[in-house]
Amino acid sequence: MRSLSRFVAALVWAAVLLVPSLVFAQASITGTVRDTSGAVLPGVTVEAASPVLIEKVRTVVTDGSGRYQIVDLRPGAYTVTFTLPGFNTVLRDGVTLAGSAAVSVDADMRVGALEETITVTGEAPVVDTQSLTQQAVINADTIDALPSARNYFGLARMIPSTVGGGNDVGGSAIQDVGQSVRVHGSRNTDQRITVNGVNTMTLQAGGNIGGQTPDVGSAAEVTVDTTSLGADLPTGGVRVNFIPKDGGNTFANSTFVSFANESMQGDNFSQELQDAGLGTPNKLLHTFDLNESFGGPLKRDKLWFWFSTRFNDVANEAPIFLNVNAFNPNEWLYVPDTGNPAVANGTQNNNSVRLTWQATPRNKFAGTFKADKWCNCPSDINATRSFEAGRDRRFPNLKQEHMEWTSPVTNRLLLEAVGMMLFERWGDMHQRASTGTLTEAQEAIVPQMISVTEQSNNLTYRARTNNNNTAVPSLTYRAAASYVTGTHAFKFGMNNTTGHLRENQYTLNGLSYRFNNGVPNQLTLRQNFIAETNLDRDLGFYGQDRWTLDRLTVSLAARLDFFKTSFPEQTLGPDPYGPDRNITFPAADNINWKDFTYRSGVAWDVRGDGRTAVKVSFNKYLLGQTLNGLGRDPNPVLAMVTTANRPWTDANRNFVADCDLLNFNPNGECGVISNRNFGSSAPAATFDPDLISGWNNRQTNWELSTSVAHEVARGIGVDVGYFRRAWANFRVTDNLAVSAADFTEFSMTAPTDARLPGGGGNTITGLYEVSAAKFGQVQDYNTLSSKIGNQTETWNGMDFTMNARLQNGLTVQAGLSTGRVSENDCEIVSALPEMLSLTAAQASGTANGVAQLRSASFCDRQEPWLTQFKAYGVYTVPTVDLQVSGTFRSTNGTDLAPGFVATNAYLAANSTLGRPLSGNRPNQVIGLVGPYTEYVDRRNELDIRLGKVLRFGRSRSVVSLDVFNALNSNAQIAIQQSFATYQRPTEILNARLLKISYTLDF
């Protein structure tokens, strides 16, 4: 009740104050009305009518300069009518709106009788001469026609400038949770997946991913914004916006069903891959997808509905065999059962219903309720993680309640408000019998199993080390007031999100081992905990104007953001590896950022004919932030040291750590613990107030965008653009317990190996090892990079795109994008050598990365020019009603960072260190190549659909045969990066897949 009352109060407050949101997501019609002499005509009544409007028609009047704008129009076909006493009525038919484009419709009126109507039929121009946002629009017909996975990730990665990974050939992945796309140097957390402009993603991961993914079956169209985003959101990454179907005055239906199994998949497991060490390829076993949606009038012109449901079931063979020794506590080695590959399964269910109510001629309400449930059980099974070390990724309870109100108060003033309540219960949970992953006997023995990670091949087996069970409720609301004249389109708005994160981080066995070639050398201790974090506000106010001066359109906007998080009182009780733990942390504030950003730009209609536009914009954005990163890291529970390592020599080979694990000093077979604060209330890290509070301290970036768009022929447009993004306000970590003088600088000779650039054998300089006296002393202090030294990151690149919408029904989009990032943190690592110790994710952009020590000589680094090409097309052969469509993507592989396990013996013979590693460590993993030097394979993916169109009365159905990965590419998606098995493939692109699909629309 408390959250419901907050929601209602917030919505009413926003509506009353008229503080602004959603106009950005809708298209507009704009233009100038003149008489036959060329003089402008003020006072002309302009009406836009369409069956997609429940209110039927929207009306404005031209201003003193003869200009008009009709905003907030849903996608569809419109008829625009111009009337003025004493002049002929002009009717413009066939105006098609999509996305948020400003479509120019001008009119020339001549003196005549009112009853005489002049009808003009024409198409919307290819070039948008007013909007600065680079936007791709994919309508429902195109979504149905293209061979794709029918999710936001599959649609967004078709855009030429977007960058995203994944291995979803023909829907072989269950769905798009956890997938992100980037553009022009943006971050994953800058991505936003919205419905009518409201983010539907979880608070936990930066606001870019989550379980509440929109259903394409309920979307009238999907827009993908990549450049020059508006001020309604603080971020500047990829925004995928779903415009939901409202229903209509006629009952309509849309059905999609597809199926494939292992007999319909080819074989791309070449001898070369087998020789390279891939034991078994990833392979589809079956996929079934049913998406049914329908709607219509409950009361004509008054109340519409749209219902959608989706069921998806997928099973895949993982690229690893089952472990013969799985669930046997007395066996310690992974032994592949070469006749039985592991299998990963996933099911997804979602249901939604939307109601649209035209309460009065000037008040429209809409509401959506959506409930989802899905389970990838088991999952996270791959060439470096065996079945028994996998997880059950479960989303047992997902709910979304979405309310909207819009009111065209006058023909110039538009008000709107929207609110959304989300609830996500999810977790990367331990495998269990109830999901069908394990038998009851296996589940009973899991707590006895100690997880093992083998250094030589980065394989984790026997058990999983960490799990979570999380609840994330949130409330988002927005409101907007738009005042539109012929030359100005003002909008003033606000948006806010509040929420809570409760995460239960647990393990069934807090002890795990590390082996090297089967020999134990390290153990890890973990404690369980529950952490809670509040998002008190993610509040923004903005104002913007689009000012049209003849052929020039100037866009200006400013935004103020107020971001605050806090922690409630939290108590931690005893734990198996903290039997005396009894800690209570008082409630505390965390982030309290205040930021000013802006958007600015101009668009010039070069010739005034709507065919050529030059656009320039300069924008400042903020890094996407929710209860991730700095939003939760300072939580005193999370800041505790709950994981620590100890060197271990298993002298008697009984695989038991014969020592007192809770005695942190060397004893028995165990060396000194890596952090003496393990399990205590002392934080592993503290945070500079300037990093987490104050004005303009949040990580930010500036984007420069320049482009020229030209309609080269009727329905065919080209666009060439240059883009630059620069980042600032980086977070760095300074271990105050050590200084640069406490490190020994040394060099090492890399091993000689043909797999390395130049055959290896080179000298790696700029390596640092902490002194023995300082090992294990950790007092991390997180601060702004500018307080330590200069740090830079910039991205530069160009896009070349072509779009065609021809009268014969051919739709084509194609484009090439190239760019590279440049980074420099030399002053940082010179002062803080501890920052050269990288996590696996920091070291490599490819799966199976390994944590490693990086050379300081790589502090100034630059990517090569990375170029990708993408295209899609749809065409229906009219004489035989044969639908032909396809997509093609040629994209770069991700970067690699091979890590070499340098033992004390190797370092003694091949380095200048001159002493054993500190803390009695048996080895140190050292990075052998510089960043952006080695990459996995380039991927060339061609997907084709051939469909026969069948028509019966109002219905249209298509029976299709899809061919995914038609070239049968076996490009390597991931490889081993541990040096002993470097370049051994661990995942390849799924083989060619035939898939049968059927659509029915009426």
Look at residues 214, 237, 238 and name the one whose alpha carbon lies nearest to residue 157. Answer: 238
List C-alpha distances in Å: 99 to 75, 136, 934: 7, 8, 39
pLDDT computed for residue 399 by the predictor: 95
Average pLDDT over residues 978-1002: 93
Average pLDDT over residues 935-939: 92
Could you report the per-residue pLDDT of 499-531, keeping only the tens digit for each? 999 999 999 999 999 999 999 999 999 999 999
Average pLDDT over residues 401-411: 92
Half-sphere exposure of 838 (CA within 13 A, CB side): 25
Look at residues 289, 280, 301, 295 and name the one whose alpha carbon lies nearest to residue 256. Answer: 289
Nearest 5°: the CA angle 716, 721, 724 is 160
Q: Between 485 and 451, where is the model more confident?
A: 451
Could you report the per-residue pLDDT of 711-754, keeping only the tens digit for each? 999 889 999 999 999 999 999 999 999 999 999 999 999 999 99
Residue 908 backbone phi and psi in degrees, to 5: -65, -35
pLDDT computed for residue 120 by the predictor: 62
pLDDT computed for residue 16 by the predictor: 33
Q: Give SS3 for 12.
A: helix
pLDDT computed for residue 119 by the predictor: 67
Average pLDDT over residues 583-599: 97
Could you report the per-residue pLDDT of 838-848, keeping only the tens digit for each? 998 898 888 88
Contact (Cβ atoms closer than 8 angstroms) between residue 21 and residue 416: yes
Look at residues 450, 455, 544 and name the one whose alpha carbon lies nearest to residue 233. Answer: 544
> What's the rounded Cα separation, in Å, for the pair 275 and 503?
44
**Confidence grade of residue 117 (pLDDT, cut at 50, 70, 90):** low
Contact (Cβ atoms closer than 8 angstroms) between residue 899 and residue 978: yes
Tokens (6 digits) for 638: 């999370």
| Domain definitions of the chain by residue range | 2-121
Q: Is the pLDDT of residue 225 over 50?
A: yes
- Other C-beta atoms closer than 10 Å to the C-beta of 597 total 24
Look at residues 83, 92, 11 and name the one whose alpha carbon lies nearest to residue 41. Answer: 83
Q: Which of 475-479, 529-533, 548-552 has the lowest mean pLDDT?
A: 548-552
What residues contact 614, with CB distance under 8 A and at least 6 apart?
Answer: 603, 604, 606, 707, 708
Q: Is the pLDDT of residue 22 over 80?
A: no
DSSP structural state of residue 865: P
- Tell me the pLDDT of the chain averaged across its residues: 91
pLDDT computed for residue 114 by the predictor: 56
Secondary structure element (H or E) that encloses residue 453, with its range:
strand 451-454
**Confidence grade of residue 118 (pLDDT, cut at 50, 70, 90):** low
List C-alpha distances in Å: 918 to 555, 742, 894, 948: 59, 12, 33, 70
Q: Which of 60-64, 623-627, 858-862 has the lowest mean pLDDT?
A: 60-64
DSSP structural state of residue 765: E
pLDDT computed for residue 116 by the predictor: 61
Residue 835 backbone phi and psi in degrees, to 5: -75, 0
Distance from chain centroid for Cα 856: 31
Could you report the per-residue pLDDT of 85-101, keeping only the tens digit for each? 878 888 888 888 888 77
Nearest 5°: the CA angle 89, 93, 96 is 140
Please give the torsion angle defined by the CA atoms of residues 129, 135, 139 and 144, in that order, rounded to the nearest 10 degrees: 140
- Other C-beta atoms closer than 10 Å to the C-beta of 361 total 10
Contact (Cβ atoms closer than 8 angstroms) between residue 460 and residue 402: no
List C-alpha distances in Å: 265 to 180, 318, 382, 383, 991: 27, 15, 20, 21, 6
pLDDT computed for residue 20 by the predictor: 33
Q: Is the pLDDT of residue 176 over 70?
A: no
Q: Is the pLDDT of residue 125 over 80?
A: no
pTM, full prediction = 0.90
What residues contact 585, with CB distance under 8 A and at least 6 apart?
Answer: 567, 569, 570, 571, 636, 637, 681
> What's the rounded Cα separation, in Å, for the pair 486 and 766?
63
What is the distance between the terminal CA atoms of the chain, rounded to a whole angstrom? 41
Distance from chain centroid for Cα 442: 36
Average pLDDT over residues 569-577: 96
Q: Is the pLDDT of residue 181 over 50?
A: yes
Secondary structure element (H or E) that encloses residue 988, with its range:
strand 985-988
Average pLDDT over residues 586-593: 97
> What class is the 2-121 domain?
mainly beta
Look at residues 125, 72, 117, 119 and name the one whose alpha carbon lies nearest to residue 96. Answer: 125
Look at residues 74, 850, 108, 167 and name the one whose alpha carbon lies nearest to residue 460. Answer: 850
> What's the rounded Cα separation, in Å, for the pair 974 and 59?
56
pLDDT computed for residue 717 by the predictor: 93
> What's the rounded Cα separation, in Å, for the pair 193 and 493?
20
